Structure 1
Amino acid sequence: MVAEPTLEDRLRACRHSALHLEMRDGYMRSDARFIAWQAGQRDDPADNDPTLRPWLALMSETAGRGVEVRRARIVSEPVSDYIRFEHHVTAPNVAAGEQVRWLPRRRASDLALPGNDFWLIDDQLVVFLHFAGDGELAPDDEEVTTDPAVVKLCVDAFDAVWKRAVPHAEYRPS
C-alpha cells in the first residue's frame, strides 16, 4: 500500500502556487516555542534558523523554485496571545519567501469561507486541516480533495481574503 503524500511532499511537488488560509485564533498551544514566548522569551536566534525550524527551509526551497507562497490569517481583535505570538514569529517566514497578510475578522463577515483552514496547491488540490477545540491537530488532521467546486470555493475565498488583508509589515495586532 502506498502512503498518502504529506503536506510537505505536496509543497515540494508544487509548481506554481501554495496558498494557506488560517481562520483560528489559536493553534497547538502545547508548542514549546509558544510556551517559551508566554514566559517572556523573545527573539531566540533559533526562531530564524532553518536547521532548527525545518518549515523555514521548506519555504525557502519552495519559493526559491518560483512557487508563490501566500498565507492569509483571519484574526479576532483584540488578538489572542497566540496570534500575538504568531505575529511576533512571522518575520522569518517572510524572509524565507512566504507572503503573509492579516485580516481582522470583522472585515470578513460578508465573505463566503470554507469551514476549515486549508492549503490550496496549484489551484487544483485542497488540503483541509482539522483541529480539535483546543487547537491541537485532530487525529484525522488532513482531508484532501480535487473536487472542482471545492477548489473554486477555496480559490475564491482566498482571493477575497487576500484583497482585504493587511500585509504583515503593516499589520499591528491590537
Structure 2
Amino acid sequence: MTQSVPDFAALLRSAEHSACHLEMRDSYMDDPVFADWRAGKPVDRPEAYQLPHEYQEWASLVRETVARGVVMRRARIVSEPVTDYIRWEHAITERHNVALGERVRWLPRRLASDLALPGNDLWLIDERRVLFHWFTGDGEWAGHEFNEDPATVKMVTTAFEAVWDRGIPHSEYVT
C-alpha cells in the first residue's frame, strides 16, 4: 500500500531496530563535495576539510539513530571499473558513514546478476516500511514513494539481505 511520504528525518527517527539503504546507481546528482574531491581537495580528512552543513546534519541524524541501538546498513551495487562518482563515495565512506556507525558493503554488479532486485534505490526501515527513491537517467532527484505493503516489504527485505550477504565490507573493497 502506497502512502504519503513522511519526512525522511522523521522516518529514520522512527526506526526501532534497523535502517537499511540500498544504492544501485553508478552516479547521482552533482554534489559540492564531489566537485571539491575532483578538484583534489582532501574531503576524506576531517582535519583538512569542513563538510557542508547538510553533511553535518546527516552526521547528527546518523549518530542519534545509532545511539538508540538502531543498526544502520548501506549496500551499494556498483559497476566495475567504478565511475569517478563511486570512487569519490568510496573515498568519503569511512568518514561520512562508517565513522558515524553505519555498516557499509559494496557489491560488484557482475556478482548481482542472479539476484531479484527492486527497480529503485531505497531505505528499508525495521523490515516494515520502504521509502523508494527515483532518479532521472542522469542522476538527478525525481521523487520518492513510501510503501508498507507486506509483499513489497518482503521482496525488498529479501533483496537487501541477498546483496548484503554477497557484499564486500567497506574496509576490504578496493576501487
TM-score higher than 0.5? yes
Contact 2:24 2:76 in 1 (8 A): yes
Query: Displacement of 1:52 after TM fit?
Result: 5.2
Q: Which residue of 2 aligns with 1:36?
A: 36
| RMSD over aligned Cα atoms | 1.6
Match of 2:103 in 1: 99
Give the structure 2 partner of residue 75 of structure 1.
78
TM-score, length basis structure 2: 0.91
Q: Identify unmatched segments of 5+ residues in structure 1.
A: none
1:128 counterpart SS class? strand
TM-score w.r.t. length of structure 1: 0.91
Q: CA deviation at 1:76?
A: 0.1
Q: Give the Å deviation of 1:45.
A: 2.8
Runs (4+) of structure 1 moved beyond 4 Å? 49-52
Query: Matched residues, percent identical?
Result: 56
For these two proteins, the number of residue pairs brought into alignment is 167
1:62-102 Cα deviation digits (max 9, x unpaired): 01100000000000000000000000010121010100000
**Greater relative CO, 1 or 2 (CA 8 Å, sep 6+):** 2
Task: Please give the per-residue CA displacement for 1:119-163, whole angstroms capped at 9, x wherever unaligned.
Answer: 00010000000011111101xx11010011100010000000000
Partner SS, residue 59 of structure 1: helix
Unaligned ranges ≥5, structure 2: none
User: Are the aligned partners of 1:46 and 1:52 in contact in 2 as well (CA < 8 Å)?
Assistant: no
Paired residue type of 1:165: G
Distance 1:142 1:52, change over 3 A: closer
> Counterpart in 1 of 2:166?
164
Query: Aligned letter for 1:91?
Result: E
